[in-house]
């Protein structure tokens, strides 16, 4: 990502801040706001934090005219340009420059803790972005320097794919059903060999081979048909003659 140094972005604006003259640091323990004359600020006005490329700028301006009072270029945060005091979260020590190589340390105070929190977060977010941009640039440089992996097929190169699962399904497929040759299955209770189970009552089992199927299969032999008798009264005459004989033998007389 190319940096545009000519573009200046606004990070934070606070309408009222106070500037204090601070005594020299007495020890390495840090600055204390209690040593300042907090009720007598040296200057009051508006504060802006702007960013141009990787640099951030703390600008102190007149709230009415916008005239620049002082400016502090910030290359990194936390750092020597912006330092928090040890006894309060609303006061900081910043290092201002006049553009001619001269610099000075002044005290910067906010009337509200919320304003000081916004001031701190604006600087943290900017330099967090600067760090991420630097890591991304290093990653892109390392990727461009590394040889690229070519996974494309060369001319005439082929591959072979073995579909093993399909072969297994074909080998273990359903078995064909055995054909019965058009014959009906045996009736329930029948055993192999054509022997029918005996019916209840103690009858002997009859083999299928012993059943005479000649009358069913002999379609050429005519079946004899009973001829009607020419004497229509023959049956009655014979019946009557038999009854007379029975009457004589028994001693009774039959009157006709």
With CA atoms as reference, report the closest residue to 57 among 73, 43, 41, 42: 73
Greatest distance between any 2 Cα atoms in the chain: 181
Q: Is residue 155 part of a domain?
A: no
DSSP state of 195: B
Between these two residues, 178 and 110, which has the higher pLDDT value? Answer: 110
Q: Is residue 248 part of a domain?
A: no
107 pLDDT band, cuts 50/70/90, is: very high
Between these two residues, 206 and 95, which has the higher pLDDT value? Answer: 95
pLDDT digits 0-9 by tens, 28-51: 788 999 999 999 999 999 999 999
Region 211-215 average pLDDT: 51
User: For residue 123, is pLDDT > 90?
Assistant: yes
Q: Is residue 254 part of a domain?
A: no
CA distances to 45, 175, 187 from 179, rounded to whole Å, are 107, 12, 18
Q: What is the dihedral of CA 109, 111, 116, 117, to 10 degrees?
A: 160
Q: What is the dihedral of CA 30, 34, 38, 42, to 10 degrees?
A: -40
pLDDT digits 0-9 by tens, 56-69: 999 999 999 989 99
Residues of the domain holding 82: 8-145
pLDDT digits 0-9 by tens, 215-238: 544 555 555 555 555 555 555 555
Q: Is residue 170 part of a domain?
A: no
Q: Which two tokens stand for residue 212?
A: 């005479």
Residue 41 contacts residue 88 (beta carbons within 8 Å): no
Lowest mean pLDDT among 42-46, 162-166, 177-181: 177-181
Q: What is the pLDDT, as a whole number, of residue 162?
A: 78
Residue 136 to residue 142: CA distance in whole angstroms = 10
Q: Is residue 101 part of a domain?
A: yes
Q: What is the pLDDT, as a whole number, of residue 194?
A: 54
The rounded mean pLDDT for the chain is 76
1 pLDDT band, cuts 50/70/90, is: very low
User: For residue 171, is pLDDT > 90?
Assistant: no
Q: Is residue 125 part of a domain?
A: yes
With CA atoms as reference, report the closest residue to 77 among 140, 12, 23: 12
Q: What is the pLDDT, as a whole number, of residue 28?
A: 78
Q: What is the pLDDT, as a whole number, of residue 2?
A: 44
Q: What is the pLDDT, as a whole number, of residue 21?
A: 93
Between these two residues, 229 and 110, which has the higher pLDDT value? Answer: 110
With CA atoms as reference, report the closest residue to 16 among 99, 111, 148: 111
172 pLDDT band, cuts 50/70/90, is: low
Q: Is residue 79 part of a domain?
A: yes
Q: Is residue 33 part of a domain?
A: yes
Q: What is the pLDDT, as a whole number, of residue 180?
A: 53
User: For residue 196, is pLDDT > 70?
Assistant: no
CATH number at residue 17: 2.30.29.30
Total tally of structural domains belonging to the chain:
1
Region 77-106 average pLDDT: 91
């Amino acid at each position: 990502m190319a940096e545009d140094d000519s573009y200046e972005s606004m990070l934070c604006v606070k309408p009222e801040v106070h500037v204090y003259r601070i005594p020299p640091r007495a020890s390495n323990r840090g600055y204390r706001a209690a040593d300042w004359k907090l009720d007598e600020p040296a200057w009051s006005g508006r504060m802006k934090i702007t960013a141009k490329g990787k640099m951030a700028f703390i600008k102190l301006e007149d709230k009415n005219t916008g005239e620049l009072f002082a400016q502090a270029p910030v290359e990194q945060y936390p750092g020597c340009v912006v330092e928090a005091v040890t006894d309060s979260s609303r006061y900081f020590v910043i290092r201002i420059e006049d553009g001619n190589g001269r610099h000075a340390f002044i005290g910067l105070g906010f009337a509200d803790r919320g304003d000081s929190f916004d001031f701190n977060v604006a600087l943290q977010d900017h330099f967090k972005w600067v760090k991420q941009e630097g890591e991304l640039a290093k990653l892109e440089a390392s990727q461009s320097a590394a040889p690229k992996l070519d996974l494309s097929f060369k001319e005439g190169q082929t591959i072979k794919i073995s579909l093993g699962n399909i072969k297994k399904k074909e080998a273990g497929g359903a078995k064909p059903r055995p054909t019965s040759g058009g014959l009906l299955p045996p009736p329930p209770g029948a055993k192999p060999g054509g022997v029918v189970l005996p019916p209840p009552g103690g009858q002997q089992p009859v083999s299928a081979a012993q059943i005479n199927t000649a009358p069913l299969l002999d379609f050429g032999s005519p079946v004899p048909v009973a001829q009607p008798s020419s004497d229509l009264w023959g049956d009655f005459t014979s019946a009557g003659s038999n009854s007379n004989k029975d009457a004589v033998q028994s001693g009774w007389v039959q009157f006709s």
